[in-house]
Amino acid sequence: MLALINSMRLAKGMPTLGWVNPLLYSAYEHGAFVDIKECQAMAHGCCLYSFATTTAWDPMTGMGVPNFQVLAAYAMNPTLSSHQT
pLDDT of amino acid 82: 42
18 Rama class: left (phi>0) / alpha (psi -120 to 50) / beta: left
pLDDT of 7 higher than 80:
yes
Read off the pLDDT of residues 14-43 as tens digits, 9 standing for 90 and up: 999 999 999 999 999 899 998 887 766 555
pLDDT of amino acid 19: 92
Position 40, amino acid = Q
Residue 67 buriedness (CB in 10 A; 0-12 / 13-18 / 19+): middle
Q: Are 61 and 39 in contact (CB under 8 A)?
A: yes
> pTM to 2 decimals?
0.74
Each domain of the chain, given as residue ranges in start order, spans 2-80
